């Protein structure tokens, strides 16, 4: 017995030693990243961790796999609880030591629930294997899953089945030994699962039973020690690191991008040379290699479960582009491990002349992203692949001046004309001809104030098709007696397309110019029909000195309707018409605005038909992330065509939208499908104008 105890002690110490070494290696690798701050209250972070990591909140969007995953997850926890007893028994030669310490009922309850969970783990793992190898779910068969990632996932499932089988077999032998009163196998525990298989031992001798019980005990404990160390080199490590990862996850709206200080300082110095510190920033612009990423972004890579929910929801991937957000995270992890190995083998100053950008992630992948945030929304452990994509774009643009030709033109237009197209800034206010729209300059000159500023946006001001939305909305404001004004010729691009295309300098330059104008008029409330302007001003301007109450026009209109300030004609032409609503990523997933547009449509007493992919699961129109200004990357189909097909499948005659880019993309899709004579794409404001008989 003493030899068994010594062997166990050695195995246990060895397992713990290598586990600690492995954890130290992971921490060292994460520390290769940059330190960062984590804005927001700790209470919100704890809540996030409890709900997302512990409560598996995001998993429960799909209940069946969520329940199976819950069984495996609880199985992991019970292994740890049950391990405590096994370790004490192993070290001190006792048997079921807790049976003599805990009240019998409690001990029976614990062992009984361990058994049920162990059985459920086996069921769940078998179901997961069937999902991979029989049903062959497409997300498990993407190119990045070839080779090791698939073997890793399979190995984990087999390991768990084996561990639970050893546990149940050990208990089954124990039950029979207890029944026979052999040696120190005293009566202890309730065995709802293993007692069902115990009768199989009836003809087996005591010696064989003891050998079986001991062998399974050893296989189980050694298996756990090996599995514990295997975790660290496998995707299964998420069971541990998901907790800190969700704690440190971003609390701000999903569509909000960071505004790096090194750019802010330089832009401030350009706009106001007296504020310049004289120090030149000499660090990296954007991200080229993993050492440029933040520690949280590196922790994201270790937290990735390779489940592929992000890739499954990615519009670029769905339409055959090379981009896969899961691959982005796997690449970050692989490169981080490679840099870590280089340091171990050759010292910290070694360079292998490789970088994450180019050697792992190609430009084609990066330029396929529509910044729709579907990957961020779907990720069960709050990973943000989009932030990494934008950081890599920033490096391409700011250090290497590399971006698709059309985006060079778009950025030049913003720089020269204050709009992404080649329109004259002098024409910016032409949309208002004949409407008697006041400007802030006029109001200020007459000493008047307004309740709200209507931010028109570049599409609203220049795009011939979209001007009708601007005119409709302005007339609705007039009809509802809202005190408002516009900036007119003083408005300029918010910087959204520049920022999303990686040109952070131009984006911040635009932002600070606009903030100066807005602050000079003491603006407090802003309403805009453009979700991109809305997101940029609401979420990204505060870090640069511009904090306002910003509303998207859908929210504003819904509120006017609910408060009775805007009446919709009882017998309007939209009554009973089939209308489907396409969620814009930048108000929907990006900022949680899902109900307001639907409230507006319901006010027409229309037949609102939801697409299968709506609200959080809504598919991007393909325009975001500056895609609308460039050709799509090569793929099997176009994003807007796929989304239009989903809209057409509802049979609705009107596709309602609430974004200038969505309108362009969906209208193009409807034309491509030769449905433009039957199906119309309309903004919410246009629909209200139609319902109320406004002449636009």
Instruction: Write down the residue that tokens 């793929």 correspond to.
Output: 635
Instruction: Write down the residue that tokens 């920022």 correspond to.
Output: 499
| DSSP structure class, residue 631 | P
Q: Which is nearer to ligand SF4, 370 or 468 (CB)?
A: 370
Report the residue from 97, 369, 537, 659 that binds ligand SF4 according to the rule CB under 6 A.
369
* Least distance to ligand SF4, CB of residue 248, Å: 15
In degrees, rounded to 5, the angle at the alpha carbon of residue 551 between the alpha carbons of residues 562 and 541 is 165
| First and final C-alpha spacing in the chain | 92
Report the residue from 29, 178, 246, 373 that binds ligand SF4 according to the rule CB under 6 A.
373
State whether residue 249 is helix, strand or coil.
Answer: coil
Q: Is 452 in the site for ligand SF4 (CB under 6 A)?
A: no
* Least distance to ligand SF4, CB of residue 426, Å: 36
Instruction: List binders of ligand SF4 among 274-333 (CB under 6 A).
Output: 304-310, 313-316, 323, 325-326, 329
Distances (CA, A) of 301 to 210, 265, 439: 45, 30, 49
Instruction: Write down the residue that tokens 């586990």 correspond to.
Output: 19
Report the residue from 120, 164, 383, 658 that binds ligand SF4 according to the rule CB under 6 A.
383
Q: Is 375 in the site for ligand SF4 (CB under 6 A)?
A: yes
Q: Is 378 in the site for ligand SF4 (CB under 6 A)?
A: yes
Q: Is 255 in the site for ligand SF4 (CB under 6 A)?
A: no
* Least distance to ligand SF4, CB of residue 661, Å: 14
Q: Which is nearer to ligand SF4, 525 or 615 (CB)?
A: 615
Q: Which is nearer to ligand SF4, 125 or 368 (CB)?
A: 368
Instruction: Write down the residue that tokens 């990591």 correspond to.
Output: 53
Q: Which is nearer to ligand SF4, 82 or 378 (CB)?
A: 378
Q: Which is nearer to ligand SF4, 329 or 684 (CB)?
A: 329
Q: Which is nearer to ligand SF4, 76 or 107 (CB)?
A: 76
Q: Which is nearer to ligand SF4, 95 or 309 (CB)?
A: 309
Q: Which is nearer to ligand SF4, 304 or 452 (CB)?
A: 304
Distances (CA, A) of 414 to 351, 408, 427, 445, 447: 39, 10, 15, 29, 32
Strand spans (E) along 603-651 = 607-608
Structure token digits, residue 175: 């039950």
Structure token digits, residue 286: 């954007």
CB 422 within 8 A of CB 413: yes
* Least distance to ligand SF4, CB of residue 151, Å: 17
Structure token digits, residue 26: 């992971």
* Least distance to ligand SF4, CB of residue 508, Å: 21
Q: HEC string of 122-135? A: HHHHHHHHHHHHCC
Stretch that binds ligand SF4, among 111-119, 371-379, 492-500, 544-552 (CB under 6 A): 371-379
Stretch that binds ligand SF4, among 149-157, 275-283, 367-375, 680-688 (CB under 6 A): 367-375
Structure token digits, residue 404: 């698709």
Q: Which is nearer to ligand SF4, 175 or 372 (CB)?
A: 372
Report the residue from 381, 440, 486, 574 that binds ligand SF4 according to the rule CB under 6 A.
381
Report the residue from 168, 256, 372, 628 that binds ligand SF4 according to the rule CB under 6 A.
372
Count, residues near ligand SF4 per rule CB under 6 A: 30
| DSSP structure class, residue 522 | T
Q: Which is nearer to ligand SF4, 216 or 307 (CB)?
A: 307
| DSSP structure class, residue 439 | B
Backbone angles phi, psi at 16, to 5 degrees: -65, -40
CB 157 within 8 A of CB 140: no
Q: Which is nearer to ligand SF4, 52 or 487 (CB)?
A: 52
Distances (CA, A) of 609 to 157, 580, 654, 661: 41, 5, 10, 22
* Least distance to ligand SF4, CB of residue 398, Å: 20
Q: Is 385 in the site for ligand SF4 (CB under 6 A)?
A: yes
Q: Is 71 in the site for ligand SF4 (CB under 6 A)?
A: no
- Residue from 547, 623, 539 nearest 259 by CA: 539
Other Cβ atoms within 10 Å of 144 Cβ, number: 17
Q: Is 621 in the site for ligand SF4 (CB under 6 A)?
A: no
What is the contact surface with ligand SF4 in residues (CB under 6 A)? 304-310, 313-316, 323, 325-326, 329, 369-375, 378-381, 383, 385-386, 389
């Amino acid at each position: 017995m003493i030899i068994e105890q010594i062997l166990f002690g050695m195995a246990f110490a060895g397992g713990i030693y290598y586990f600690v070494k492995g954890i130290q290696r992971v921490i060292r690798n994460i520390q290769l990243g940059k330190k960062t701050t984590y804005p927001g209250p700790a209470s919100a972070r704890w809540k996030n961790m409890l709900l997302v990591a512990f409560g598996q909140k995001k998993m429960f969007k799909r209940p069946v796999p969520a329940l199976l995953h819950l069984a495996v997850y609880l199985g992991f926890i019970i292994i740890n609880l049950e391990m405590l007893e096994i370790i004490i028994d192993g070290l001190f030669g006792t048997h079921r030591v807790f049976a003599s310490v805990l009240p019998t009922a409690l001990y029976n309850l614990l062992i009984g629930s361990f058994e049920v969970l162990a059985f459920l783990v086996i069921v769940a793992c078998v179901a997961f294997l069937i999902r991979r190898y029989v049903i062959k779910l497409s997300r498990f068969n993407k190119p990045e899953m070839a080779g090791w990632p698939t073997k890793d996932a399979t190995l984990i499932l087999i390991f768990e089945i084996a561990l639970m089988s050893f546990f149940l077999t050990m208990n089954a032998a124990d039950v029979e030994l207890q029944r026979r009163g052999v040696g120190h196998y005293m009566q202890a525990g309730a065995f709802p699962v293993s007692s069902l298989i115990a009768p199989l031992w009836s003809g087996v001798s005591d010696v064989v039973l003891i050998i079986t019980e001991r062998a399974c005990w050893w296989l189980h404990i050694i298996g756990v020690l090996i599995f514990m160390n295997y975790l660290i080199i496998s995707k299964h490590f998420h069971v541990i690191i998901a907790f800190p990862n969700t704690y440190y996850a971003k609390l701000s709206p999903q569509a909000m991008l960071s505004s790096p200080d090194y750019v802010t300082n330089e832009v401030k110095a350009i706009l106001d040379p007296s504020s310049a510190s004289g120090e030149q920033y000499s660090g990296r612009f954007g991200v080229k290699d993993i050492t440029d990423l933040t520690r949280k972004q590196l922790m994201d890579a270790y937290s990735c479960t390779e489940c592929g929910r992000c890739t499954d929801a990615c519009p670029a991937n769905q339409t055959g582009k090379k981009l896969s957000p899961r691959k982005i995270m796997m690449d970050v992890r692989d490169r981080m491990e490679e840099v870590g190995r280089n340091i171990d083998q050759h010292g910290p100053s070694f360079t292998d002349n490789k970088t994450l950008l180019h050697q792992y992630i190609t430009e084609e992948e990066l330029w396929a992203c529509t910044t729709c945030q579907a990957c961020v929304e779907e990720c069960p452990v709050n990973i943000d692949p989009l932030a990494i994509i934008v950081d890599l774009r920033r490096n391409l643009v700011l250090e290497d001046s590399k971006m698709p030709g059309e985006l060079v033109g778009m950025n030049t237009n913003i720089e020269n004309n204050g709009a992404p197209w080649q329109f004259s800034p002098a024409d910016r206010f032409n949309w208002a001809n004949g409407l008697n729209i006041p400007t802030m300059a006029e109001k200020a000159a007459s000493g008047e104030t307004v309740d709200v500023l209507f931010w028109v946006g570049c599409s609203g001001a220049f795009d011939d098709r979209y001007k009708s939305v601007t005119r409709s909305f302005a007339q609705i404001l007039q009809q509802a007696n809202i005190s408002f004004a516009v900036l007119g010729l003083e408005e300029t691009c918010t910087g959204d397309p520049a920022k999303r295309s990686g040109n952070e300098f131009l984006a911040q330059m635009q932002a600070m110019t606009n903030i100066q104008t807005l602050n000079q008029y003491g603006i407090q409330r802003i309403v805009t029909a453009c979700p991109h302007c809305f997101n940029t001003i609401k979420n990204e301007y505060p870090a640069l000195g511009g904090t306002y109450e910003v509303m998207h026009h859908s929210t504003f209109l819904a509120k006017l309707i609910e408060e009775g300030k805007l009446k919709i004609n009882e017998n309007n032409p939209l009554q009973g018409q089939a209308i489907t609503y396409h969620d814009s990523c930048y108000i929907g997933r990006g900022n949680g605005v899902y109900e307001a547009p639907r409230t507006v449509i319901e006010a027409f007493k229309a037949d609102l038909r939801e697409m299968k992919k709506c609200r959080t699961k809504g598919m991007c129109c393909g325009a975001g992330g500056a895609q609308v200004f460039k050709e799509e990357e090569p793929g099997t189909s176009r994003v807007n065509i796929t989304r239009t097909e989903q809209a057409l499948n509802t049979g609705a005659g009107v596709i309602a939208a609430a974004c200038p880019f969505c309108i362009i993309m969906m209208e193009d899709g409807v034309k491509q499908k030769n449905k433009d004579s039957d199906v119309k794409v309309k903004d919410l404001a246009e629909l209200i104008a139609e319902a109320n008989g406004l002449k636009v």
